[in-house]
Chains A and B, each alone.
Chain A
Amino acid sequence: MVKHKGRNLFDIQFQRQLRNPWIWGAFFTALLIAFPLVIVLSNIFIPGDATWQHISRNLLPGYILNTIVLMTGVALLTFLLGVSTAWIVSMYNFPGHRFLSWALILPIAIPAYINGFTWAGILDYTSPVYVFLRNNFGIDSGQYLFFNILSLPGAVIILSLSLYPYVYLISKAYFTRQSSSLFEVASSLGRNHGDIFFRVALPMARPAIVAGISLALMEVLNDYGLVRYFGVDTFTTGIFTAWFAFSHPQSALKLSAYLMIFVLALIIMEKTQRGQMRYDTLGNTYRPLTKIKLSRRRAVLATILCLIPFLSGFAIPVVMLLYWSSLTFEYVVNYRFTELLANSFLLAASASALVTLLALFISFTVRSFPSRLVKLLARVATLGYAIPGAVVAIGILILLLWIDSNLGISSPAGIRIAITGTWFSLVFAYLVRFMAVGYNSVDSGMEKISTSLDEASRSLGVSNLKTLRKVNTPLLTGSIISAALLVFIDVLKELPLTLILRPFNFDTLAIRAFEFASDERIAEAAPAAMIIIITGMIPVFLLNRLMGRIG
């Protein structure tokens, strides 16, 4: 009888991994992606100098406080908006429920900073809305209509309007997946709707809801455009100040490291609350929910409740931006604008092509050579999505500056050609930040392909690369397109990372829109903003078609 000895480092399995170019590829990709993050984190232990002393004593407490208030506020508001609308839309039948069930997703297409400056424009003293109300109804509340939106509460509201769809989507998916018998049993036991919601649906959906809120909060930590515009100082604005105003890289790094602690805390919180929670599923007896028809008064109430986030998060800002665009279109859309468009689209296209290709490659590696090591590599490679763009940018900037000063290539004229502030650094940063977006999409498609297809191909003597090309890729077309599209859109609207890493005098649509808005030329920001929004709507339409097909 052979004794089962422990794995030694040189057993066949390990040697096979050592010889495998796919695993080496995944290893280098993961290394590349992890590097900037490690640089940032390692800085936390280096003692700070006087500038850092100043920042940490006078500014850091404010950053922390503002960040905590923002997170708490957004958590509460996205919970209220997202869960209530998800419940109403999945449980009840009322006029417009079909339209609203996907219209409620649309606000996700508007980046928070665009929504922010649009609303600031709407509520401003000179806005056409305010002028109309003032002249015709005598409503006058000072410089701003109703209240000063450029404030911490204003930031909470706008962020929540842009981010509640995360909570809405995930809770709606959860509610509609439940078998109706679950709710019917509760009513047969004498519970009314309110009871069913609070005692059955809500506790059951808790892990899903918290996951949705965590996603929204990660976006809060990532946000730079909105908080800068609204004058709320947080870590991201602090990183910009340290880098650009104080020219003090060390402080920017330290702030980034602190910000990453917040991210980490968020991830751990989300993981622990999920805990060992696993629910028994009801197996074959699944019956989809039959929607309950509401009485007239309640139906009106439901419609209004669902219209509020849709109107304020999407319809009103879009109408306003369209109006502004019509005013400034001829003036703004010139050859300079075409250049912007080309910059943005080329950048987004190259980043999305690279991300999708690497995602396809890593997903296939994990599938074909599953081992603890390979799975770990895949996790490392997709780490970046949790990390705020500004942090990724600082990490990469430090890395590239070091490479430039130590290994930079000298041109014949004696001028050093740096890679810092080039397309390369931007695409690299997008890769780090958006790898997970592409990977998740490709991988979920990959999971639907039976592994025996790959194995059949390999047993017929076909190489791994050819198997990926001839078997997996044709079957993954949909997932690959959606991965590329999602990354494309994320790059198109990305702001903080692009602002830090862009080449000199290089603008994108997002940057131009943000700069116009910052200069109080909101109307001129509208055309660029509209292009970002319209592109961002494509996946919402696709999602709607997909949901329609599922039923």
Chain B
Amino acid sequence: MNILELRNITKKFPGSWLPAVDNLNLDVAMSENVALLGESGCGKTTILRMIAGFEVPDGGTIKINGQVVSGQGKFIEPQNRKVGIVFQDYALFPHKTVWENIIFGLFRLPESEVNKKASEIIELTGLQGLEKRYPHQLSGGQKQRVALARAMAPEPELILFDEPFSNIDSMRKQQMREDIKNIIKKTRATAIFVTHDTKDVMSIADKVSVIRQGRIVQTDNPQKIYTFPVNTYVADFFGKTNYIKAKVSPEGYKTAMGIIKTKSPLPADIKDVLLSIRPEEFTTCKEKNDCFYGSIVKERFMGEYKELTCKVENPSGENTEIIIYTIPNAQCTNGKCYFKPNEEKIHVLKKHDEY
């Protein structure tokens, strides 16, 4: 069952030509963690604010737990939506202690239950011992956990996160991502993350929607989106990839550097395609065999791996440059390298998927 349904949501801000959100549809199932990923200004935060009720859509319907909260002539105010939010700046009340912040939304419960609920959530978020502190006495990570605890305490239908890790220094980010993910998984809460960081997405989300100019470009699990992006925009967003022009032929993809074989079925309806192969989907070989051969034109040491740029020459003069990630002590020497792609991870973009 879907906790959240967005249907044909449109929002245009006065003074702007393009809609911030353009005819957008989104479904979020119970206990699902969905990430809305996009560059700043793509409309992802506007979507979040419309779900929370801080912006009014120009058109379309939003349903939370089957109930219309916006659209069809109805509008439920934010205080009646049961949607929790963790803000980018955490928005902790500076004049209230951690404890007071957490119980702020529990005013409808009798006192004994407030204490029980707050203690539970404090234990869950690992904030024991910090109850009497004020927000200015907390570290960034602690503040974020307080913000999460406060949002979760009233048991909202879903929790929204606005750029949750952008204010945390990179050393602690991964730990924070895991902590948050564990807390969410433990409570089986439904969560929506808005972020521009693909690493957030990879570590936290079950499902990602990539957003561009107010529309969803692709929705899938992070692994799939990474390997099989629908177009070059999504492919580029998730990191480096090799684009290779190819013609479909019975034995494989015919490219300037030779035939690339694949284990997936070849597209039947189209001749000219663009292949996308991630740099780590190449392996180096000891000798020629059925590998490609190129001279190394650039070598970059990146710590845990090495980035090689290989130039594959073609008699007709149409050279191809391929980027490969290898282990630092790969079998490439003397400025030459044999390599071949993983035949299962060759992704085909049709020509018009190019941006």
Contact = CB atoms under 8 A, between A and B. Distances in A.
B19 interface: yes
Contact of B81 (A1, A13, A450, A459): A459
B8 to A, nearest CB: 6
A456 B85 contact: yes
Given A2-B23, A12-B70, A475-B95, A458 B78 contact: yes
Interface in B154-199: 154, 156
Nearest to A464: B79
Contacts of A127: none
Contacts of B89: 450, 452
A354 to B, nearest CB: 26
Contacts of B263: none
Contacts of A460: 79, 84, 104-105, 150-151, 153-154
A13 B56 contact: yes
Interface string B128-150: 00000000000000000001001
Nearest to B86: A456
Contact of A456 (B12, B80, B91): B91
Do most interface residues of chain A lie in helix, strand or loop, or is the interface mixed? helix
A463 interface: yes
B82 interface: yes
A455 B78 contact: yes
B107 interface: yes
Q: Most chain-B Cβ atoms within 10 A of its Cβ — which of A457, A461, A470?
A: A461
A471 B151 contact: no
Contacts of B315: none
Contacts of B352: none
Contacts of A1: 23
Contacts of B87: 452, 455-456
A458 B156 CA distance: 13
A461 B79 contact: yes
A296 B353 CA distance: 77
A2 B8 contact: yes
Contact of A12 (B10, B75, B93): B75
Contacts of A456: 85, 87, 91, 93, 147, 150-151
A4 B58 contact: yes
A450 B167 CA distance: 16
Contacts of B59: 2
A133 interface: no
B52 interface: yes
A455 B91 contact: yes
A84 to B, nearest CB: 43
Given A16-B56, A474-B95, A458 B79 contact: yes
Given A15-B75, A16-B56, A459 B83 contact: yes
B105 A461 contact: yes
B57 to A, nearest CB: 8
Contacts of B8: 2
A475 to B, nearest CB: 6
B73 interface: yes
Nearest to A449: B94
A463 to B, nearest CB: 6
Contacts of A15: 73, 75
Given A1-B23, A459-B52, A462-B107, A453 B93 contact: yes
Interface in A1-41: 1-2, 4, 11-13, 15-16
A4 B104 contact: no
B85 A475 contact: no
B233 interface: no
A16 B75 contact: yes
A460 B82 CA distance: 7
Nearest to A13: B56
B301 interface: no
Contacts of B116: none
B10 A461 contact: no
B75 A455 contact: no
Given A452-B89, A456-B91, A462 B104 contact: yes
Contacts of A453: 91, 93
Contacts of A474: 95
A12 B151 contact: no
A78 B208 CA distance: 64
B48 to A, nearest CB: 11
Interface in B1-54: 8, 10, 12, 14, 19, 23, 52-54
Contacts of B54: 455, 458
B156 to A, nearest CB: 8
A475 B12 CA distance: 33
- Which of A452, A459, A461, A471 has the most B CB atoms < 10 Å from its CB? A459
A340 B12 CA distance: 58
A9 to B, nearest CB: 14
B125 to A, nearest CB: 16
A470 B23 CA distance: 38
B222 to A, nearest CB: 27
B22 to A, nearest CB: 8
Contacts of A459: 52-53, 78-79, 81, 83-85, 151, 156
A6 to B, nearest CB: 10
Given A4-B12, A458-B79, A471 B70 contact: no
Contacts of A462: 79, 104-105, 107
Contacts of A11: 58
Interface in A344-376: 372
28 contacts: A1-B23, A12-B57, A16-B75, A372-B14, A455-B52, A455-B54, A455-B85, A455-B87, A456-B87, A456-B91, A456-B151, A458-B54, A458-B78, A458-B79, A459-B85, A459-B156, A460-B84, A460-B153, A460-B154, A461-B105, A462-B79, A462-B104, A462-B105, A470-B104, A471-B93, A474-B95, A475-B94, A475-B95
Given A458-B78, A459-B84, A460-B151, 20 more contacts: A11-B58, A12-B75, A450-B91, A452-B89, A452-B91, A455-B52, A455-B85, A455-B87, A455-B91, A456-B85, A456-B147, A456-B150, A458-B79, A459-B52, A459-B79, A459-B83, A462-B105, A463-B79, A470-B104, A475-B95
Interface of B: 8, 10, 12, 14, 19, 23, 52-54, 56-60, 70-71, 73-75, 77-85, 87-89, 91, 93-95, 104-105, 107-108, 147, 150-151, 153-154, 156
Kindly list the 8 A-B residue pairs having the minimum CB-CB distance in the complex, ordered from nearest.
A460-B105, A452-B91, A456-B91, A452-B87, A458-B78, A459-B85, A458-B79, A474-B95
